[in-house]
Every structure is written in structure tokens, then in C-alpha cells.
Structure 1
Amino acid sequence: MSENAAPVVPPDSPTLVDDHLVEAVVDLVEAGHRGHVLNLVADLRPADLAALLQHLPADLARVVFRWLPEEVTSRALPELESAERVDLLDGLSTPELVALIDPLASDDQADVLADVDVTQAEDVLVQLEDAVDIEALLSYGEDTAGGLMATEVVAVPLTATVAEATEAVRSNADAVDPVFAVYAVDEENKLAGVIPLKRLLLSPADTPVHEVCEGDAVSVEPDLDQEEVARIMERYDLVALPVVSAGGRLLGRITIDDVMNVIREEAEEDLQRAVGITGEEELSSSIFAVSRGRLVWLLLGLCGAYVSGLVIVGFEEALTIAPVLALFIPIVMAMAGNAGIQSSAIAVQGLASGDLWRSDLARRIGKELGVALLNGVVLAVALAGIVVLSGFGDDTARLALTAAIALMIVIVLSTLVGATVPLALNRIGIDPALAMGPFITVSNDILGLTVFFLVATLLYL
């Protein structure tokens, strides 16, 4: 199969790598059949080869990695997770690392080099063809536009013609892959415009570049956060985004494949934080690392549950007088937590997508209040109906009224807490995703129980 030929994927399988292939490779490696392994993985694309290496036992993955030709493993390196890459590169000599890293694009070179031992990385860097560019990329934060960009671009002066720009694309085809556009720069290398590839191909050869380029090109500076980069590319439907210095000089570009990785990583991070997990969890992560990332929020949940218990103990006299009130404790806690999570999820989603602006806050909170009142009324009536149908003797009507009013107040307050806490955290520079999950659940449990028992004390006892 040629390098550019599309692999044939079975209709019921999303990838060429599955458990059967992993098991086959494990058996062959353990038996020492290098040739069979090479034949088995020969047609895998870099991403599929990376997936295979990540699902093999660590010791066997290192064996396969060293068996494969350098040009094959080199293309797979950028597709690997950082932890697996560190493990596979460990023990390689400086010449071996140079041979693996040098063929890669500048952004991938910087990513791989960041996973190499610092001392050895310095020895590798000086031997790379684009050492100056790579060193500049390594100076940018990992989660910034500079950390995402590649320095390889097709750039031509404004004084060039379409024919010269086309020749520039042809001569840079190997280094800049894929080519989405040509960037026009002035005599100081400042970005002056962008020429989409389609427009370039359809324009007469002798047309000056300044007549066909788009002068209002969207660009970003290298210190911009990667989440904002993703929002910009999504908002303007861009497949490539130029990166410029504060003075407007063209530094490089960010392509859509890099942004897709950012979107996936940010979504995973927000989901983990929403359920009380801090830090990255990967297949190769140690038990202690995973435990450390989860234990903080579990301890917070334990403390919150204890405080909830103290609230119940504080109203022990009320429970002694009316034990039936204990029936509503799980109801109040569940409804408070669910209402808070619903509203916080919408707030976090709006903040993450950039759709929720400061000017929208009053309208957003007003809308949440309206939703809370409507849901509170419906749920209160439903709970009152259940109490009446269940029958609690002479106190049924009063108990139903107490439960309904308490539940309605709890729903309203929990919804408002869920909607406002993410906004407050975002305002002070804390990831609003932390507001979801354990944080909202614990706080609303305490709030819900306190409100319920206060209302019950006033109206029922």
C-alpha cells in the first residue's frame, strides 16, 4: 500500500487497530518474530500505529518501537500521548533521537523534544536543521498559540505575481504540508494579507499578489491561550490561522488538526473537572497519580457530607417531633443537586464556547430564575400530590404544603447557585468547570437541607 493510499477500514470498525491486532502483535513479539510484526503493521497509518503502541504492554511497545524503521516511528511520534512518548524515547542515543525528530514539522519537533531529558534535548537541538525555529517554539507556553504553531509557511512579498506565488507553493510543498493558503508579507515580513489556494489557482499568472490577497486576514499573537485560538478558528471557519508578533511580523501558522486536538483535550479536561478529577489521567498514569487527582474532591465531598449530617443533627428535635420529615431528606438533597448541576452545566458550556458575555449575565440569570420558578412550581405540585396520595393522617395537607414550599425554594436557590458560581469563578480566573459536579452537589446539599428544615420548623411544627 502506498503512503497516501487510504486504508480499507471494515464498516463495523472505526479503526484498523483492535484487540485482535494487539493480541497478535503481543504473541509475535513474545515469540521474537520481528519480520511477522513488521508485515502486520506495515499498512498502518501513523495514528493507527500510535494507537497500537499505546495499547501494548510498555515493555513490548518498546521492542516494537525499536524494531520499526526510523521513518515509520518518526511519523508516529507526534500521534503518541506525552507519557507514552517519554517511555519510548527513554534510552535512545542522541543520534537516534536526531534521526527521529529532524524529519518532523517544527511544531511536532518542539512537542517531541519537550519529552526528552533536558540535557539530552540540548544536544539534540543543536543538531537539528531548524534549531533556531525549534528553540523559539520551545520558549512559548505549551497551551498558547505559540506552542501550537508551526514555523513552516508559504510566504511571498506583496510585489510578487500569482505565478511566483504558485511556484513558491510548489517549491515548499514538502516542508509545508498541507498548504491551505499563501501569506503575503511586506518588506519587513509583516503580514499584509492571505491568498486562499483556490483563489491563487484561479487567478491569471501575471496578476500582482496585492490584487488577489485578502488584506483583512484574521491573525493571533503567540501568547494567546489555545482555547481562544480554537474559538477564533471555529468562529471564522478557518483551516489555518497565521501567528504574528506584537509588531505584526509573520511567525508561523496553526492548522485545524492542531486545534481539533485542543478542543478534544479541553473537553476532556472540563469533563474530568466536572466530576472532581484534577490532573491528566492516561492509561500509563500510575495508581498514585490517579488517586492524587481524585482524592482532593472526594475529601471535599466527605467534608460536605459531614456538614450535611451536622445540619440534620441540628434539627434533631424536629425529626423527633415529626419523624416523617426524614422521608424528604433524600428528595431535597437529590433535587437540589440536580437543579444546580443543570444550571451550572449551561453556564460552563456558555463560558467555554465564548457565547456567554458579560453583557449577557443579567439576561442569563433572569432566564435561569424564570426556569427555576417554573420547574419549582411543577415539582412542588407533583410532590404535594404524592404526599396527599400517600396519606399521612390528619397532617397530610400541612405536610404536603410544607414539602411543596420547601422544595420550590430549594429548586430556585440551587438553580441560581448553579448559574452564578461558574460566572464568579470565571471572573476571578478559576476554571468554571470546577463549579460542576462535587462542588455544586455538596454546597446545594447543605443549602437544600438547611432551607427544608427551616421551612418545616416554621410551617409544620
Structure 2
Amino acid sequence: MTFEITEKFLENLVGFIYENNDSEIKKLFEEVHFADIAEVLDEVNFEEAIYIIKLLDSEKTSEIITELDEDTREKILENLSAKEIAEEVGEMDSDDAADIIGELSIERQKHVINALNDNELAADIKELLSYEEDTAGALMAKELVKVYETWTVAGCMRRIRGQAKEVTRVHSIYVVDKEDKLVGRLSLKDLIIAKSDQKIADISKAKVDAVNVNENVEEVAKIMAKYDLEAIPVVNNNSVLLGRITIDDIVDVLKEEADKDYQMAAGLSQDVDSDDSIFELTRARLPWLFLGLIGGVGAFIIMEGFQDVFSTYATLFFFTPLIAAMAGNVGVQSSAIIVQGLANDDVKGSINSRLLKEMLLAALNGIILAAFLFLFVWIYESRVDLALAISISLVVVVIIAGLIGTFVPLFLNKRGIDPAIATGPFITTSNDIFGILIYFMIAKVILGI
């Protein structure tokens, strides 16, 4: 049955906290998943959350802390001593422990690592923190099961029991040579059905997908998605096995990337959420709003330069929003498809072939839309030349907008810039300006003004 946070549950919880009824609080959370407890802590006030964290055992709270909202977790960690944080991270896998400690100041990081009782975990955390952010090294966990190719199956079974205790889920057993270089992998099934005197080298599979420790996490996600991997080993430049990345870590990466792309497409220049301060929200939104303001000023200057057109054909003015809107919409549609394709690694071939395809697609859409617009203007204004000027302008504007929407994200991607930026106000504003300029230039030529 799915756990649900009800008002009655929260009332009982808060009542028990103020009564210092620790046994009842523990009963409330006895069968509750740590992810649900994390949601509860986000619902109660800060003092109550601290009370619960300090009450429950570290084995449970270590899992809860990793699931907390980032702001809530930051406040809680600020109010825990280095020894208390060390007790929490001591129950975590090395990758989660490194993530939590990495959120602390450099000074507190040293104190927490020094307070750890497990020297091996402390060394692993130091290693993971040394890798650059958004690399496989920073994302991997050190816990894994590895065996040497020279071992027998019987010897291997004895040794991996001790290793497996430290690993939450055993996806694969990695085979290394005497220099700890990754040479293969071994499934549990192969190990179980093998004869006890067989060598590991004889039953292991030589083909094993691995990623370099400096590989970007987005590339790691693409590899794991492409080959349907639940885990992938991480090696250094000499093929020495360093750790592994599991699918749950990749899901977090994909979610963060999707959130970032969504915010960039909406015109937010940094990662924010609704609970951030007004100053932080303003700082994230203002740059793109300012770009929109510049675009509006640019449109005004263009329109002012065509006052003679307005004075002769005032109707053209009333179709300006339509032309600008169509340019923006087509540009965003084109760029969104390309950005999605780039994210999924589906965009193949040359830029020229993509531009040609988009031009033909935009031309077809533009002609269909322009035909309806031509009939409307002709019937409404009884002017064939005016209807022709507006409808031809629409076709050209749609084609140009489609080309811009396709070219810009491809160009940004080639330059190493996140192409998601192209789906937001950047494309909309640029296409608005180009659309209005093209519209009046074509109208002026056709109408002979």
C-alpha cells in the first residue's frame, strides 16, 4: 500500500514530538520507506525535522538525508556536528557519501572526513571528491564485486561473500588481471553453474562495456541507455578498474538535465525552484526578460522605419502580431525537435541536410497556412495584392524561422554550448525581429510603396 502524508499523520507526529514521545515516533516510521520519511521532513518545520533525524538510527537517516530536498538537507547539515554527519555518511555508499560531503564547506569537509571511523571509506570519499563535477569519476561508487582471472570458482565464491556485504545490489562481477586492469565480467548465473575447480578466466566474458573516469556523465547516460545497462564499470586511462555507476545514479542525472533544459527553455539562466528567494528568482529570470525587452525595442525601431507602409496600408499593422507569433512558434518547434534529438543522440548527418529538410517542411507548412490567410484577407479586405503580400510574407517568415530554429541549436552544440538555450526566449525574440523585418520588406516590394 502506498504511503500517504495526511493531516492526521502530521498532527500525531508533531504532537508526539512536543510530548517527547520517542517510542511512538519510532512506531510511526517503523514501516515507512526512507523516501516517504524524507517527504515528511519537508512538510514539518526545521526544528521538528532535526528532532526526527537525531532520533532515528543512522542506518535509516542516512538514506533519508540523500532523498531530502536540497535546501532542507543544507539546513539540517548546518545543524549537525561533524561527528553526527560522519555517523550518517558512514552508513552510505561512497558515491552518496561524497555527494553529501561535497555540499559542505571545505573546512567542514575535512572535519567530517577526519571523524569517519572507516578509513577505507574516508579514502574513497577523498578520491571521489578529487574528480571534476559531471564526470564519471565524480558519479561512480567504489563499492563493487571484483575477482581475479586466476582464481578458481570455489576460491572466488569464498572471497566475494565478503565483498558483497558492502554492495547494495550486485549487478555484475568484474574480472581483473593481477594489475587490477578490467579484462571481463562474470554473471552470477555463470558462477553458480560452473564447476568449482574451473578458472574464472575460462567462464568470464571478455567483452565488457566500460567508461573512462573522465567521461562526461551525459555520455555515460547515453551509453547505458543504448545498451540497456543496469551498471557500468569505470576505468582510468590504463584500464584499471576504479568503480561502477548504477542506473539509479543515471536516472538522477537525466532528471537534473531535464529540469535544467526545461528551465532554460522557459528563459531561466540558472537552476531555481519555487521556494528560492525573490532575489535568486529575479537573478535567474531577469537576463532573458531583458533580452525580450531588447527584442521589443528592436521591433519598434524596425516598425518605425516603415511608417510610410503603415500610412498607405494600415491593415498591415494589424497582421504584425500574427507574423511575429508564427515566426516565434515555428522557431521554437524546430529548435525543440533538434534539441531533443541532440539529447538522445538521434541527430545524424550533416547540418546542410538538416537545414534542407527543415526548409522543405517549413515551406509546406507555410504554404498551407498562407493559403488560408490569403483567402481570409482577400474576402475581408477585397484586395488581392494585399492578401498576396501578407500570405507570401508568412511563407518566407515561416521558412526563415524554421532554418534559424534548426541552425542555432546545431551551431551551439558544435561550439560546446548547451543547445537547450535555443528553445527559449533567444529563438522567440530573434525570430520576432527577423519576422517583422521580412514582413514589411516583402509587403513594401509587392505593394510598390
Tell me the TM-score normalized by structure 2: 0.94
- Matched AA of 1:76: I
Structure 2: distance between partners of 1:284 and 1:57 = 14
Query: Number of aligned pairs?
Result: 445
**2:245 is paired with a residue of what secondary structure?**
strand
- Correspondence for 2:369: 379
The structure-2 alpha-carbon separation of the partners of 1:313 and 1:27, relative to structure 1 and needing over 3 Å to count, comes to farther
SS for the counterpart of 1:126 is helix
Structure-2 residue corresponding to 1:46: 34
> Is 1:331 the counterpart of 2:322 in the alignment?
yes
Distance 1:23 1:287, change over 3 A: farther
Aligned to 1:288: 279
- Give the corresponding residue for 1:309: 300
1:454 Cα offset (Å): 0.5
1:214 aligned partner, one-letter code: K
Equivalent residue number for residue 181 of structure 2: 190
Give the letter for the 2:371 counterpart.
V
Any idea what SS the aligned residue of 1:241 has?
strand
Alignment partners' CA distance in 2, 1:281 and 1:24: 33
How far apart are residue 196 of structure 1 and its match? 2.3
Paired AA for residue 392 in structure 1: E
201, 206, 209: which one pairs with 2:200?
Answer: 209
Deviations 1:189-216 (A, max 9, x none): 0001011233333333332211222212
Shift of 1:40: 2.4
> Aligned match of 2:313 in 319, 322, 327?
322
Q: Retained in 1: the 8 A contact 2:144–2:164? A: no
For the pair 1:421 / 2:399, whether they are aligned, the reply is no
What displacement does 1:227 show? Answer: 0.6
Aligned equivalent of 1:368:
358
Is residue 2:170 matched to residue 1:179? yes
Consecutive unaligned residues of structure 2, counting only runs of 5 or more, are none
Q: Does 1:236 align with 2:224?
A: no
Task: Give 1:192's aligned amino acid.
Answer: V
Task: Determine which of 360, 375, 381 is the counterpart of 1:392.
Answer: 381
The structure 1 residue matched to 2:111, chosen from 119, 123, 140, is 123
Q: Which runs of 4+ in 1 moved over 6 A?
A: none
Deviations 1:294-335 (A, max 9, x none): 111111111111211221222122112111111211110110
Moved more, 429-438 or 160-169: 160-169
The alpha-carbon distance between structure 1 residues 21 and 360, as it changes in their structure 2 partners (threshold 3 A), is: farther
Match among 51, 62, 78 for residue 63 of structure 1 = 51
Does the 8 A contact of 1:84 with 1:284 survive in 2?
no
8 Å Cα contact 1:154/1:182 also seen in 2:
yes
Residues 1:405 and 2:396 aligned together: no
SS at match of 2:197: coil
Deviation at 1:143, TM superposition (A): 1.2
Deviation at 1:133, TM superposition (A): 1.2
Give the match's secondary structure for 1:207.
coil
2 CA distance for matches of 1:283 and 1:83?
A: 12
Over the aligned positions, Cα root-mean-square deviation in angstroms equals: 1.9
Deviation at 1:127, TM superposition (A): 3.4
User: 1:53 and 1:443, CA in 2 relative to 1: closer, same or farther beyond 3 A?
Assistant: same
User: What is residue 64 of structure 2 aligned with on the other side?
Assistant: 76
What runs of 5+ residues in structure 1 fail to find an aligned partner?
A: 1-7, 10-14
1:201-245 Cα offsets, whole Å, 9 max, x none, are 333333221122221211111111111110010011111100001
Q: Shift of the alpha carbon at 1:19? A: 6.3
- 1:360 to 1:133, Cα distance in 2 relative to 1, 3 A: same
Could you tell me whether the CA contact under 8 Å between 2:58 and 2:91 is conserved in 1? no
Cα deviation code 1:439-461 (max 9, x no counterpart)? 00000000000000001111124
CA distance in 2 between counterparts of 1:337 and 1:219 reads 43
Structure 1 residues 433, 401: CA separation in 2 closer, same or farther (over 3 Å shift)?
A: same
TM-score (normalised: structure 1): 0.92
